[in-house]
Structure 1
Amino acid sequence: MHKSEQLKDFETLRLQPGSDSKQHKPFRFFNSAECLSGNPILYRRRDFFKVSLLKGEYIVHYGDESIKAFGCSLSFFSPWVPYTITQLKEEENAGYMIFTELYYNTYFNQTIRQSPLFDNESKPIFLLDKNQVEEVKAIFSKIERQEQSDYPFKDDLIRNHLNELIHYANTLHPATERHHALSSKERLHSIFHELLNRQFPVDVSRHKHLRTASDFAENLNVHVNYLNRILKEITGKSTSEILYERLLRESIILLKHTNWSISEIAYSLGFKDSSHFNHFFRRQANVTPS
Structure 2
Amino acid sequence: MNSITIKDFYKDILGESCPDINQFLNDNLHKDVGHFNIFDISEISKTCTSKTGMPYNRRTYYKISLINGKNKVEYADKTIEIEDCVVLFASPKIPYNYTHLCTDQSGHFCVFTIDFLPASKIGLEIDNLPVFSPQSDFVYQISTEQYQKFESVFLKMHDEINSDYAYKYDLLRNYLMELVHFGQKLKPIMPIANNITAASRTTTLFIELLERQFPIENISHLLQLKTPADFAGILGVHVNHLNRVLKDTTGKTTGEIIGSRIFQEAKMLLTQTQWNVSEIAFTLGFEEVAHFSNFFKKYGKQSPQHFREHILV
* TM norm. shorter chain > 0.5: yes
2:10 paired residue number: 11
1:201 paired residue number: none
Which structure would you say has the larger Rg?
A: 2
Aligned residue runs from structure 1 range 92-111, under 5 A: 92-105=105-118, 107-111=121-125
2:252 paired residue number: none
| Partners of 1:163 and 1:56 in 2: CA distance | 25
> Shift of residue 131 of structure 1?
1.1
Query: Which amino acid in structure 1 is aligned with residue 53 of structure 2?
Result: I
> Shift of residue 160 of structure 1?
0.4
| Partners of 1:71 and 1:40 in 2: CA distance | 18
Give the 3-state SS of the residue equivalent to 2:152 in structure 1.
helix
| Partners of 2:143 and 2:189 in 1: CA distance | 12
CA contact (8 A) 1:49 1:101 kept: yes
- Bigger Cα displacement from structure 2, 7-16 vs 119-128: 7-16
Q: 1:80 aligns with which of 81, 93, 99?
A: 93
1:263 paired residue number: none
2:28 paired residue number: 22
Q: Percent identity?
A: 25
| Structure with more strand by fraction | 1
| Partners of 1:169 and 1:104 in 2: CA distance | 16
1:207 paired residue number: none
1:42 aligns with 2:47: no
| Partners of 1:188 and 1:80 in 2: CA distance | 14
TM-score by length of 1: 0.59
Query: Which amino acid in structure 2 is aligned with residue 158 of structure 1?
Result: L
Query: Unpaired segments of 5 or more residues in structure 2?
Result: 15-20, 212-248, 250-313
Aligned residue runs from structure 1 range 212-223, under 5 A: none
Query: Unpaired segments of 5 or more residues in structure 1?
Result: 192-217, 224-229, 231-290
* Deviation string, structure 1 residues 144-196 (Cα, Å, up to 9, x no partner): 1111222111111111011011001101111113253761356589x9xxxxx
CA contact (8 A) 1:104 1:112 kept: yes
Change (3 A) 1:178 1:4: farther
| Partners of 1:9 and 1:21 in 2: CA distance | 15
CA contact (8 A) 2:160 2:168 kept: yes
Aligned residue runs from structure 1 range 118-133, under 5 A: 118-133=132-147
CA contact (8 A) 1:7 1:47 kept: no
- Bigger Cα displacement from structure 2, 72-81 vs 177-186: 177-186
- Bigger Cα displacement from structure 2, 4-13 vs 155-164: 4-13
Aligned residue runs from structure 1 range 1-290, under 5 A: 7-14=6-13, 16-18=21-23, 19-23=25-29, 24-25=32-33, 26-32=35-41, 33-34=43-44, 36-37=48-49, 39=51, 41-45=53-57, 46-105=59-118, 107-178=121-192, 180=194, 183-184=197-198, 187=201
- Could you say what the CA RMSD is over the residues aligned between the two structures, in angstroms? 3.1
Query: Which amino acid in structure 2 is aligned with residue 30 of structure 1?
Result: F
* Deviation string, structure 1 residues 111-157 (Cα, Å, up to 9, x no partner): 21221112322322110012111101111111111112221111111
Change (3 A) 1:176 1:144: same
Change (3 A) 1:188 1:171: closer
Give the 3-state SS of the residue equivalent to 1:94 in structure 2.
strand
| Partners of 2:49 and 2:6 in 1: CA distance | 18
Give the 3-state SS of the residue equivalent to 1:107 in structure 2.
helix
CA contact (8 A) 1:55 1:90 kept: no
TM-score by length of 2: 0.55
